[in-house]
Amino acid sequence: MSDQAKIIYNDQTFEAPVVKGSEGELGLDISKLRGSTGLVTYDVAYKNTGATQSSITFIDGEKGILRHRGYSIEDLANNASFLEVAFLLLKGHLPNKKEYENYADLIRMHTLVNEDVKHVFQAFPNGSHPMGQLMTMMSMMSAFYPDSLNPHRIEEDFDMTITRLIAKTPTLVAMIQKKKMGHPLVYPKNNLEYVDNFLNMTFGQITQEYAVDPVLSSAMNKLLILHADHEQNCSASTVRIVGSSQSNLYASISAGIAALWGPSHGGANQRVLEMLEEIAKDGGNVQKFIDRAKDKNDPFRLMGFGHRVYKNFDPRARIIKKSADEVLGQLKVNDPILHLAKELEEKALADPYFAERKLFPNVDFYSGIIYRAMGFPVDMFTVLFALGRMPGWIAQWNEMRKAGQPIGRPRQIYTGEVHRPYPSWDERG
């Protein structure tokens, strides 16, 4: 196999070195293309462009494979704790018992947020979207921790700025849920594990002891793991490019939350539930909505279906679908929306339109059904996606900074007016 490719244009030949990854992925290194030929590549939305080399996550979209640092998502979801996976993503290896205990203790000691955060938090209008609140509170963290403003201070993977992010995000998310419910805040408890602490802050009450349901705990742990990282997706690429300007980690993560909010990305889990509820309200005619999704004149898309990379089943969707059955069964919830989702999936997968375009259910298709069964309001779903994605975003940002990558700045093909003289007022008609 050749280690270079030739790009021939007119009388010019550019020899592009071929970069080969550890899983055999091949990429043309065109970093010297413009200097040699004056040509740039053109790839709207970077559908075929590798922005970096990375050792964090591997996806094979054709085979439906997802691995973090070499471990399959199935093994991690079925055996690990979310904090173990966060350690793996940030440090590059699974912790041994001592490392894990030390890490869990370190995180446990930093779960409180500065009391002054509550003043900013109280200013949010009731009913304002939780993703807007999380985005604001995340960028506000740099105000409370000014030493985080210098990205070069993060010499250690577990620098305090990173530790605070992993430790305090569950507290911020629980605060958002409490505000939404109009309930008093429940503070973190140091005797609880990471996920149980989050569930206690979210669903516990200050008026009585709250026993964390092991079914909810296990389902939440699995859902957070399934969202932990996904290589160069829209929000991770946003976090990397903001960080490439040497902006601080909190600002970069806040930008990632903004990108995740969109319904084409993480916002899809909220839109899936709203779509299913719309179908139910419309009489449950699934085929009618499948036909709308196929109609090019109708902007309606089947939310939770399709993926930029997976042209096979999203392995996370398989795990979540199984977990949805288990959780709703164990919670004795008979949710007609789940039956509707299964009917919709069945009919869409049997439809040539979806099969031809390799459109399968993605991570967002079933997750909202579990979140709803757990008692989360629909507009909290994407905030839960962000909570899971936190270690992945940080690991991607850290990898970019440690590699000393330069500021990200793509080129363009200009299609506007060519040079023209400045007109007088009269010449403007």
Query: Catalytic amino acids?
Result: 307, 364
For ligand SDX, give the closer residue by CB, 178 or 271. Answer: 271
307 lines the binding site for ligand SDX (CB under 6 A): yes
Q: How far is CA 195 from the centre of its chain?
A: 18
For ligand SDX, give the closer residue by CB, 183 or 301. Answer: 301
359 lines the binding site for ligand SDX (CB under 6 A): yes
Q: Which of 363, 267, 371 is nearest to 320 (CA)?
A: 363
Look up residue 291 and give its amino acid.
Answer: D
321 lines the binding site for ligand SDX (CB under 6 A): no
264 lines the binding site for ligand SDX (CB under 6 A): yes
The token duo for 161 is 């700025």
Q: How far is CA 214 from the centre of its chain?
A: 25
The token duo for 189 is 């408890």
Taking the complex as a whole, the smallest distance from the CB of residue 386 to ligand SDX amounts, in Å, to: 11
Eight-state DSSP code of residue 154: -
For ligand SDX, give the closer residue by CB, 101 or 295. Answer: 295
Taking the complex as a whole, the smallest distance from the CB of residue 375 to ligand SDX amounts, in Å, to: 23
Segment contacting ligand SDX by CB under 6 A, of 147-155, 169-177, 215-223, 357-365:
357-365
The token duo for 243 is 């960080």
230 lines the binding site for ligand SDX (CB under 6 A): yes
For ligand SDX, give the closer residue by CB, 130 or 204. Answer: 130
Output the CA torsion sign for 168, 171, 177, 181. Answer: negative
Residue nearest to ligand SDX (CB): 306
The token duo for 204 is 């516990």
Segment contacting ligand SDX by CB under 6 A, of 81-89, 211-219, 299-307, 374-382:
299-307
303 lines the binding site for ligand SDX (CB under 6 A): yes
For ligand SDX, give the closer residue by CB, 234 or 319. Answer: 234
Q: How far apart are CA 240 and CA 248, in angstroms?
A: 11
Q: Which of 206, 179, 221 is nearest to 83 (CA)?
A: 221
Taking the complex as a whole, the smallest distance from the CB of residue 138 to ligand SDX amounts, in Å, to: 18
Among 170, 304, 388, 391, binds ligand SDX (CB under 6 A): 304
Q: How far apart are CA 7 and CA 69, in angstroms?
A: 34
For ligand SDX, give the closer residue by CB, 137 or 234. Answer: 234
**CB of 402 closer than 8 Å to CB of 54:** no
DSSP H helical ranges for 145-248: 160-181, 194-203, 214-226, 234-243
320 lines the binding site for ligand SDX (CB under 6 A): no
Taking the complex as a whole, the smallest distance from the CB of residue 392 to ligand SDX amounts, in Å, to: 8
Q: In what order do the strands lie in the sheet with 71-72?
A: 57-60, 65-68, 71-72
Q: How far apart are CA 309 and CA 325, in angstroms?
A: 26
48 lines the binding site for ligand SDX (CB under 6 A): no
357 lines the binding site for ligand SDX (CB under 6 A): yes
Eight-state DSSP code of residue 334: -
Count the residues of the shown chain that bind ligand SDX, applying the rule CB under 6 A: 22
Q: How far apart are CA 368 and CA 18, in angstroms?
A: 41
Binding mask 138-177 for ligand SDX (x = CB under 6 A): ----------------------------------------
Q: How many CB atoms lie within 10 A of CB 12?
A: 11
Q: How far is CA 360 from the centre of its chain?
A: 18
308 lines the binding site for ligand SDX (CB under 6 A): yes
363 lines the binding site for ligand SDX (CB under 6 A): yes
* Contact positions vs ligand SDX (CB under 6 A): 230, 233-234, 264-266, 268, 293, 301-309, 357, 359, 362-364
